[in-house]
Amino acid sequence: VINKPGPLNGPEIRYLRKNLSFTAREFAGLLEVDHTTLSKWENGRAPGRPNDLLIRLAYAAWKGYEHPKRIFDIFEKVRKQRKRNIAIKLIPAAREGFEVEYAV
């Protein structure tokens, strides 16, 4: 399942979690997401590319795939990428020269 080319679907995510003998809360903790987020993924909401990769890497690491150090390096890189801040600059058209910046 972790080697399939397309995104993981809900039943596949649930299968991977159960194959590792994790509860939803335990697996969510490993992925650093809320258990309700994991539930949404397992019930059909797409986790997005970084989280999809994170799930695959977590599974590979726990199953003892070759080169665990490399797996955890990639795991950490993806985790950091997922949490990076996004800046949105809003420029209303109503007033010339009026700018507002927000961080999300």
In the block, residue with structure tokens 């420029």: 91
Q: Let me know if residue 1 belongs to a domain.
A: no
Q: Let me know if residue 23 belongs to a domain.
A: yes
Amino acid at 34: D
pLDDT of residue 102: 45
Q: Let me know if residue 4 belongs to a domain.
A: no
> Which residues in the chain land under pLDDT 50?
86, 90-91, 93-94, 98, 100-104
For residues 10-36, one letter each, b for 16 or more C-beta atoms within 10 angstroms of the residue's C-beta and e for the rest, the string is bebbbebbeeeebeeeebbebbebeee
Q: Let me know if residue 41 belongs to a domain.
A: yes
Full residue range of the structural domain in which residue 73 is found: 10-103
pTM above 0.75, yes or no: no
Q: What total of structural domains would you count in the chain?
A: 1
Residue 63: give its domain's CATH number: 1.10.260
